[in-house]
Structure 1
Amino acid sequence: MGRDGEAELSEMAAIRASVHDPMMIAIARAMLENDLPTAEPLLRQRLKQDPFDVAAIRLMAELAARIGRYRDSETLLRRALELAPAFAAARANLATVLYKQHRFAEAVGELDAVLAAGEVDAGKLNLKAAALGRIGGYDEAMRIYAELTRTFPDHAKLWMSYGHILKTVGDQAEAIAAYRRALEIEPGLGEVWWSLANLKTVQFGDADVEAMEAALESAEGLSDENRLHLHFALGKAFEDRVEPARSFVHYAEGNQLRSMEIKHDPDAIAAQVDHVIETLTPAFVSEHMGQGDPSPDPIFVLGLPRAGSTLIEQILSSHSQVEGTMELPDIPQMAMREAREAGGKRQDWIDALAGMEPGRLAELGAEFLDRTRIQRKTDKPFYIDKLPNNWAYLGFIALILPNANIIDARRHPLDCCFSNFKQHFAKGQGFSYDLSHIGRYYADYVRAMAHYERVMPGRVHRVVHERLLDDPEGEVRSLLAYLGLPFEEACLQFHTNTRAVRTASSEQVRRPINRDGVGQWRAYEAWLGPLKDALGDLPEAYAER
């Protein structure tokens, strides 16, 4: 009837009324206690009785999100909003689900709608700031965090998040101050201690070490998440004090806690590399090469984490024709989606690639360009995706974007692998919490890259980290020649570049080139037997394989 205002009022009245329904109360109680086996059948019964119960649809979406079924959750939330467009709680939930799918720009759009409707609270503002930080909206994110910390001056995690953004934009002094303020409020917040350690420039004093040890000893109420962060931070503290035995104990404890949680399977990585070698033969690559999107815009920098990829990105982004972005999640997401839609497991993108119809490769290349467009803030012709894990999808990249440039960042395996072991990653590096697993992962990566060099000779340009340290100008000139770009002196002055950097190397690439990270594994050699065994002869042969 066109009476939208009255319709919205009626919809919201119905939603409010549902909270008094006995079945909905039982469902809410089960959800509050995270008793999903009880909640799910009750929700199904409720929606069978009334498929238009928007409150029940929203709760079913929340249940799906809790078990990681974000696409299902999104579908349910969009149905709820179709029925009740003014249901701000459902829209806020949708923003959260989009964020968890790495669809940050869409999440910001939904949050803007919620906030414009007057539904303003700290949680929504915090989520918006986090999403803005993932799409380069640092100025607005900092403004939001500054406002939130003024409103909630005793909220430790807000100060921590504020510190993360300040670190990203290079304001190290203010970042440290924000982290220190968080610790004043909550001394046992392990992630903040690790955030300070992860700056790589903070030297912990005796009082800091005592505070961290005291937090570990007060076991009551200390979560495993806080515990493992404290272990990693203490590992760094004792490393700086040149006490490798005490340092290694803490690194090992932190890694053990995360390894038990993640349960990485190194055999799955080896099997995937085997499958790449079996499927992506010279004949297959020759048949499919050139069918993707012809754009030359993306530059992929890949390899292992802690191999020097951030340094390469910082050097290239100092060039007048290249824009640095961040570690973009799009290639793995697209590859895994294609695998699922082809009826395979998420790792089976190789079979999906082999079965694609003509024209699909070009569609996927165009999709990547479209998905990543929001990360481009300048009109420079080239931009960088430096997600290290993209080595595992190199064949996918090469076929959907045949003119994209690909750079392999390679570092001495003992330095690289041990650096991974002592680095706690927020997510995505499940191999890094066990020395044997790290060594096997490095070996499988080298195996895969050797195969791609055989089937696509010259397609990938390798930058060996130690050679870059020894001869910066020669290596930079070679890299730019591969990219077809003229040499620019600014590339050697990369440390003066004020761009935002999100990775663990953010502070290191703001210094002139140095050899501080070379040979750090040697102090820990007594404990690196499992890593050495897994690597075999790679410490001698890594640069040429």
Structure 2
Amino acid sequence: MEAGAALVASDLRTAERLLRAHLRDDPFDVAAIRMMAELAGRLGRYRDAEALLRRALELAPGFRPARSNLATVLHRQNRSAEALAELDRLLADEPDNPTHENLKAAALGRIGEFEEAIALYESVLAKAPDQPKIWMSYGHVLKTVGRQPDAIAAYRRAIALRPGLGEVWWSLANLKTVRFSEEDVAAMQEALAGPVLSEDDRLHLHFALGKALEDRGDASPSFRHYVQGNAIRRVQLPYDPAETDEQVARAMAIYTSDFFAVRAGWGCPAPDPIFVLGMPRAGSTLIEQILASHSQVEGTMELPDIPALAARIGAGGTPIGELTPDQVRALGEEYLDRTRIQRKTDRPFFIDKLPNNWAHVGLIRLILPNAKIVDARRHPLASCFSNFKQHFARGQSFTYGLEDVGLYYAAYVRLMAHFDRVLPGAVHRVIYEGLVDDTEREIRALLAALGLPFEEPCLRFWETDRAVRTASSEQVRRPINRDGLEPWKPFDPWLEPLRTALGEVLDAYPEIPAACSFPSPRP
């Protein structure tokens, strides 16, 4: 009971001390094991939480709360198929349990089964119509499949139930096509001034108000809200630019011309993946939509699998330079196995558009030498400021400070320039402004670089009916336009820290600055 009270109070240290002492005396207490798993989950130690929950279920197979927790932990590790298997066991015993249905809907959305997810959300809301967060999740999946009016209605229903729910206000703003009314702005300001508001609600409201005021042309108050929202998030999600610089330096030292020459012919030969990478908010969703309009290419989502493989190699596994040919090939095959659940058609190629994969180009080229790589690049000020005013649901910790995002962009350019030298022609670069200025020329060049024949639907990509799971979902459902080409200009008086951090990268764009053209370091 004392440990439970400590968990409720978020006194995790006390809870852990009490639970460890109790489990030493009674190692078979499944309730205490489950509480220890909750503690591990709160600390982000999902593997530990999973092991504890599996132990509890080994001792008590019918312990449904532990199985429900296990499904949640698996979902949080992007292991949706395993989570769904546990949820199906739970729903077999409790077919109308809205908690299980809600989590199953989220897991189905993660693997692209959107219509089934929508049906489940509707089932849950029919039984529990006064749940604002479920209305919000329902709105998310409706947005993903292109049902924007229905998504807006779901978000509005959530706001009506809980006006201070900042995330749903941001979800409306994040559609990019909604223009808030005076009444909306007043409601957000009133919620922000309320006496009881979580930091998460507060930061979401700041980002939403920043967008609302930006749309009205009020740059100064808009920027203040963006700064305040970013400041809250930066405390929650600290970022150290030195770590990115070290990661880039290691990659440049490892992945040399000689490294790849020695390993020619290694890796899984499958040509299926097309990696679209670069900075977030640089046009990767647009490129994905163009390519997914081709009869041979399937769009999926921002897949987490390459970073997961990289993290495993870096966490005490065999160093990348010591992997055998069989191990390298196995990694490529594992990537294909992990991503197969995302493929819903028989098209021969599929897109992985996780932008942050730029940091793993060397690993991609090693384990999947026939995969194609597309670098989506946008003007540094446009890309970086778009990231600064964008609140991301997960990750992207570098976006919450102008200096941080500028340094990150410069590191990205530096590493991609390295791969241009050691793997000439392996990466096809699409400059966003060039795509806007001469769309057909750039699309033809892109398809040619990928070895795909030209197809007319790629020019009319906005007519392609498919799910889009990023912040640009509504923007790619209309023809290319120049509306957001220079989003930083109204905010230019406050962007000096960003300009300084970018340095020569800004001055040289779209070319590569001389500082990035030095010979590669040797290991």
TM-score of Structure 1 vs Structure 2, range by shorter chain: over 0.9
1:94-493 alignment, distance < 5 Å: 94-118=70-94, 120-218=96-194, 220-342=195-317, 352-493=319-460
Letter in 1 for 2:448: A
| Preserved CA contact (<8 Å) 1:238 1:246 | yes
Contact 2:288 2:351 in 1 (8 A): yes
Cα distance in 2 for partners of 1:539, 1:301 equals 22
- How far apart are the structure 1 equivalents of 2:18 and 2:193? 43
Report the TM-score, using the length of structure 1 for normalisation. Answer: 0.92
Q: Give the CA deviation at 1:206.
A: 0.6
CA deviation map 1:456-508 (0-9, x unaligned) = 11001000111111111111111111111100000011001110001000000
Deviations 1:249-278 (A, max 9, x none): 111111111112212101111111111112
Partner SS, residue 372 of structure 1: helix
8 Å CA contact 1:114, 1:120 repeated in 2 = no
The equivalent of 1:346 in structure 2 is none
Shift of 1:119: 6.6
Structure 1 distance, partners of 2:21, 2:183, is 57
- Is the deviation greater in 456-465 or in 120-129? 120-129
Q: Report the Cα distance in structure 2 between the residues aligned to 1:247 and 1:289, rounded to whole angstroms.
A: 52
What is the CA-CA distance between 1:68 and the residue it aligns to? 1.3
Q: After the TM superposition, which of the residue ranges 277-286 and 511-520 deviates more from structure 2?
A: 277-286
Partner SS for 2:78: coil
Structure 2 Cα separation of the partners of residues 182 and 53 of structure 1: 40
* Counterpart Cα distance in 2 of 1:34 and 1:239: 37
- Higher mean Cα deviation, 44-53 or 467-476? 44-53
How far apart, in 1, do the equivalents of 2:266 and 2:455 lie? 33
**Count of residue correspondences:** 512
Q: Partner letter of residue 533 of structure 1?
A: T
SS in structure 1 opposite 2:375? strand
Q: Does residue 1:86 correspond to 2:53, yes or no?
A: no
1:318–1:497 Cα contact (<8 Å) kept: yes
| 2:486 paired residue number | 519
> 1:80 is paired with a residue of what secondary structure?
helix
> Do the aligned residues in 2 keep the contact of 1:281 with 1:455 (CA within 8 Å)?
yes
In 1: Cα distance, 2:427 partner to 2:284 partner:
14
Indicate the larger mover: 42-51 or 503-512.
42-51
**Are the equivalent residues in 2 in contact too, given 1:299–1:407 (CA < 8 A)?**
yes
Structure 1 residue 158 displacement after superposition? 1.1
Note the alpha carbon deviations across 1:128-175, whole angstroms, 9 max, x for none. 111111101111111111122222222111111111010000000000
CA apart distance, 1:120: 4.4
Q: Residue 65 of structure 1 is aligned with which of 41, 57, 72?
A: 41
String of CA shifts for 1:335-394, please: whole Å, max 9, x gaps: 10111133xxxxxxxx82123233211111000000000000000000000000000111
2-structure distance, mates of 1:341, 1:80? 28
The CA distance in 1 between the partners of 2:334 and 2:15, in whole Å, is 38
Q: Deviations over 1:51-86 (max 9, x none)?
A: 333233222222221211111111121122222222
Is contact 2:84–2:107 with CA below 8 Å preserved after alignment?
A: yes
Amino acid at match of 2:210: G
- Distance in 1 (CA, whole Å) between partners of 2:26 and 2:316 is 31
Answer yes or no: is the 8 Å Cα contact 2:267–2:325 preserved in 1: no
Superposition RMSD on alpha carbons, in Å? 1.4
> Which amino acid counterpart does residue 72 of structure 1 have in structure 2?
D
Runs of at least 5 residues in structure 1 that lack an aligned partner in the other structure: 1-24, 343-350
- Distance of aligned partners of 1:244 and 1:309 in 2 relative to their CA distance in 1, 3 Å threshold: same
Task: Give the AA of the match of 2:160.
Answer: E
The residue aligned with 2:3 is: 27
